[in-house]
Amino acid sequence: MWKAAVLNEWRLRSRRVSTLVILLTVVAVSWLMVLDPRTGRATMVTGGQRIAYDSQALAFATGVMACMLFGLAGFYLARGRSQEDLRCGTAAVLAATPVTNVQLLGARWLGAFGFLMSLGTALMLTLWVLQLVRGEGPLRPVPYLQMLLLGLAPGMMMCASLAVLADAWAPLMRKRGDALYWVFWIAQLGFMPAMLSGGASGLSGWQVLDVQGLSVWVVALSRLMDVGSVSIGGAPFRAGLPVLHMPEGLWSRELVALRVGAMGVALLPLLPAVLLFHRYAPDRVKGAGAGRGRAVAVLQWLSRPVLAPMRWLFGQLLGLSARVPGLAGRLLADVSLVLLSQPVLALVMTACVAASVAVPTSALPRVMALALGAWGIAVADVSSRDWQSGTLGMASATAGGAPERGWRQAVAAFGLGVIVGAPALLRLSVEAPLRAAACLAGLLFFSAGAALLGRLTRGARTFLALYLFSLYLGLQRTGIAALDMLGVSGAATAGSVAAYAAAGGLGVLALAAMPRMARGISGISDVSRLIGTTPR
C-alpha cells in the first residue's frame, strides 16, 4: 500500500500542466545562458578568458543555473497536495486509512522528490543534446550525473521537505507558506556572499547549511582552477587570449562530504512536519484560514489606520465600476477586485508609485523592481481564483460571459501594471525610451502569461515561481537581451521588445480563442455520443 501511495504522489504531480511549463522554462533558460562565443560573450569567463564548452564546464554552469530555478520552482511544484485533497473530497478518506502519519508524509516526500528528480533527469538529457550541438569536445555523461546527484539532489530534497511541511501544518497551507518560502529562497542566495566574505580560500564546515550549494561550488571551482573569480551566466571575454579548459577533480572528498551532509540538513523539516501534521482534522485545517495568531492580529491592528482608507477607496472604485457601462466598467471591476483582495500589496504598489516620482534616476530600476514584484504577486491568481473559489460558473454568467473573461483578465492585469509603473515609465520614456518600451512589452507578456497559466494549471504558483525568477534574472545584469523581460537591467533590444510584445499579443488572442475551441470540442463530443447511440 505504501509503494502505491508513493507512485500515486509521483503520478499526480507528473500529470500537471505546470510540470511541462517549468521543464520547458528550465531548458530554455539553460540554452539561452550557453552563449555563442562569436557574440563576444561566453557562459564561463575568468580573467578575460573564456572556458571551453566541454562536458565538465557545461555540466557545472548549467547545473548552477538549474539549481537556482529548481530551488525556487521546485517548492511550488511539489506543494499543494493537502489543498487538492480538501477540494476534491479525498481528505476524509486519507484521514481514515490505516496509514501512520510517518508513512503518509514519507510517501508524499518520496513522491515529491522523485518527481523533482525526474525533471532533473529530463533536463540532463536535453543538456546532452546541447553538448552535441554547441559543445567543444566529446559528450561525457559522468560530469552531468555528478551534478545531478550531488549538485541538484540536496536542493530538491529541501524543496520536497519544505513542501511537505507547508502542506502538513495548517498556518502554512496557503499564501503565507508561499511568501515565507520566497523569503527563505532569497536568504539562501544571500548565504553565498556571507560565506565568501573572508575570501574563497577553502571550504568550511558551515557550508553544509548551504543546501543549494552555490557558495560551495564557487569555492571548489576557484581552488580547482586557481583563480580569484569566475563569471557564470554570460560575460564578455577577450578573443585574443587562449581558451581555458576546466580541469577534472571538482568533486573532492571534502566537497562530496559537504553535499552528503547537506542532504541530511534537507531532511530536517520532515520532523516538525510529522509533529504538526493536521491529518485533515476539521478544527486544525480551518485554522489555516480562520486562526490568524496573535502576531498577525497585532500587525493587522497596527496597519488598520493605513489600510482602512485604502479599502474604502477600492470599495468606491468597485462601486463606480457598476455605474460605468460596457467593457470599461468590467475592466475597472477586475482591477478593483485585485486591489481589494490584497490590500497590503496594493499599499506596497502605492508607495512605489510615490517613490518613482521622487527618487533619482539611478535608483529608479530598484523601485521599479519592487513595484513589479508586488504587481506580479497580486495578479498571479487573476484567473485561477475562479476555480479556487468555485465561482467560475457564476462569473461566466455575468455580462461578457466566458468568451470575454479570459482576455479581459489579462487586459485588467496589464492595465494595473501600467498604472503602477506610470511615473517610472514617463521618466524612462524621456531618458531611456527603449527601457520603457521593454517594460510595457514585458507587462503585456506576463499579464497574458498569468491569465493563461492560471487557466491551464488552475493555480497561481507556476506563474508566481516563473515570474519571480524572471525578475531576479533581470536584476542580475547578465547582458542577455532575452532575459531582460521588463527593462530593469537595460539589456533589452528592439528585437527582444518586439518579440515579447508579439508573444503577449498572441497570448491575449489565445485567451480569446480558448472558449470557442472548448465549445467546438464539446460539440464534437456531443455528436460522437449521438452517433454512438444511434440505432443501426
- Are 288 and 171 in contact by the 8 Å Cβ rule? The answer is yes
Alpha-carbon span 125 to 122, nearest angstrom: 5
**Phi and psi at residue 390, in whole multiples of 5°?**
70, 30
Cβ–Cβ under 8 Å, residues 208 and 262:
yes
Tell me the per-residue pLDDT of 217-227, one tens digit each, with 9 for 90 and over: 888 888 888 88
Whether the Cβ atoms of residue 352 and residue 370 lie closer than 8 Å to each other:
yes
pLDDT tens, position by position, for the chain (536 residues)? 667 778 877 887 777 777 788 778 777 877 777 878 888 888 888 888 899 999 999 999 888 888 888 888 888 888 877 777 666 767 666 767 777 888 888 989 999 999 999 989 988 988 898 888 888 888 999 999 999 999 999 999 999 999 999 888 888 877 778 878 888 887 777 666 555 555 555 777 788 888 888 888 888 888 888 887 788 877 888 888 899 988 888 888 999 999 999 999 999 999 999 898 877 666 566 544 444 445 555 656 666 777 788 888 888 888 888 888 888 988 898 888 888 888 877 888 888 888 888 888 888 888 888 889 889 988 988 888 877 777 777 777 777 777 788 899 999 999 999 999 899 899 888 888 999 999 999 999 999 999 998 888 888 888 888 888 888 878 777 677 888 899 888 888 999 999 999 999 999 999 988 877 665 544 444 434 444 443 33
DSSP string for residues in 235-273: EE--TTSPPB-PPS--S-HHHHHHHHHHHHHHTTTHHHH
Burial 139-154 (b: 16+ CB within 10 A, else e): bbeebbebbbebbbbb
Which secondary-structure segment (H or E) carries 298?
Answer: helix 294-323
Please give the pLDDT value at position 195. 55
3-state secondary structure of 49: strand
* Identity of residue 136: E
pLDDT the model gives residue 527: 39
d(CA 416, CA 400): 20
How far is 18 from 27, CA to CA, in rounded Å?
14
In sequence order, the 6+-apart residues with CB closer than 8 A to the CB of 281 are 95
217, HSE (Cβ side, Cα atoms, 13 Å):
22
For residue 259, what pLDDT is reported?
93
pLDDT of res. 147: 93
Residue given cell 507558506 in the structure block: 177
Q: State pLDDT tens for residues 140-192.
A: 999 999 999 999 999 999 999 999 998 888 888 777 788 788 888 877 776 66
Residue length, the chain?
A: 536
Beta partners for residue 375, in sequence order: none
Continuous segment of H or E residues that includes residue 234 = strand 231-236
What's the confidence (pLDDT) of residue 416? 92
Rounded Cα gap, residues 460 and 177, in angstroms: 13
The b-or-e profile of 29-39 (16+ CB within 10 A means b, else e) is bbbbbbbebee
H-run or E-run covering 132: helix 101-134
This prediction has a pTM of 0.78
